[in-house]
Amino acid sequence: MRPTRPGLVALATAALLLFAHTATADDDPFAGARAAMVRAVALDAERTAEWIGKTALAPRVMEAMGRVPRHLFVPPELQDFGYLNRPLPIGYGQTISQPYIVALMTDLLAPEPDDVAFELGTGSSYQAAVLAELVAEVYTVEIVEPLAAGATDRLDALGYDNVTVRAGDGYFGWPEHAPFDIVVVTAAASHVPPPLIAQLKPGGRMVIPVGSPFLTQQLLLIEKREDGAITSRQILPVIFVPLTGGH
């Protein structure tokens, strides 16, 4: 048998690894992590089937989750954790929600391509970006000014030109752009803000965590029927940062 030449073998292996990396990474070193996050979300949907009434979320929603680069919505020092299926701090005491919760809320909102959506609580603007992949327009309000400014810059840089961010108290909605097909509240509210019900279109859907701040809230799916009647369904217990503001 011929003696092996470790140096050459090592070199060949290194070249192969380099090739494999460039071949699979497709210019996005986070592509693999993002795909793993989508699998983790799918697993959570299966595990919570009894609450959410289905074993899988809408394929369109899962595809959007697979497209939005979540690592660019977290602080730079947390980028490597950007695809963990968990919430992360984004500064100012606020968080980017857990991917499974973002996916679930988006699924419950049943987004359609022509829909106009309102979000209370822009935060990192990740939820807004996921919605922007699926609807015509997203209007989102954030009460912490630097977060609103950061979200505007981020969405511009990523080319999300169908999202408009405003700094202010989202409790009052955005009357100039109402009525909305979709309303999503991403901060824990003690009650459903009446202005948001008023700004929901007949046939529209709202998802909102309602309950005590700092404790567990119930995620509610509220629907306004064509005749204006309101229905509400509890989906599952969640924990969100509190709704603030002087309303």
- Contacts (CB under 6 A) with ligand SAH, residues 83-102: 94-97
- 190 as an active site residue: the answer is no
SS3 state of residue 179: coil
Q: Closest-CB residue for ligand SAH?
A: 123
| Shortest spacing between CB 123 and ligand SAH, in angstroms | 2
Pick 52 or 165: Cβ nearer ligand SAH = 165
| Nearest by Cα to 132 from 65, 83, 87 | 65
Pick 105 or 116: Cβ nearer ligand SAH = 105
CA distance 77 to 69: 15
**H helix count then E strand count, the chain:** 8, 9
Confirm if 178 and 148 have CB atoms less than 8 A apart: no
Phi, psi (rounded to 5 degrees) for 217: -115, 165
Pick 164 or 244: Cβ nearer ligand SAH = 244
Q: How far is CA 117 from CA 41, 219, 226, 237, in A?
A: 23, 18, 18, 24
Total interface residues for ligand SAH by CB under 6 A = 24
- Which of 105, 147, 182, 207 binds ligand SAH (CB under 6 A)? It is 147
Q: Is 241 in the site for ligand SAH (CB under 6 A)?
A: yes
Pick 141 or 208: Cβ nearer ligand SAH = 141
Six-digit token string for 117: 């959506």
CA distance 30 to 82: 9
Phi, psi (rounded to 5 degrees) for 210: -120, 130
Confirm if 231 and 245 have CB atoms less than 8 A apart: no
Q: Is 169 in the site for ligand SAH (CB under 6 A)?
A: yes
- Contacts (CB under 6 A) with ligand SAH, residues 98-127: 120-121, 123-124, 126-127
SS3 state of residue 155: helix
Site string for ligand SAH, 181-210 (x = CB under 6 A): -----xx-----------------------
- Going by their DSSP bridges, the two strands 116-120 and 200-211 should be labelled as unpaired
- Which of 115, 133, 142, 181 binds ligand SAH (CB under 6 A)? It is 142
Q: Is 235 in the site for ligand SAH (CB under 6 A)?
A: no
Q: Which residues of the chain form contacts with ligand SAH (CB under 6 A)?
A: 94-97, 120-121, 123-124, 126-127, 141-144, 147, 169-171, 186-187, 241, 243-245
Query: Which positions are annotated as active-site residues?
Result: 97
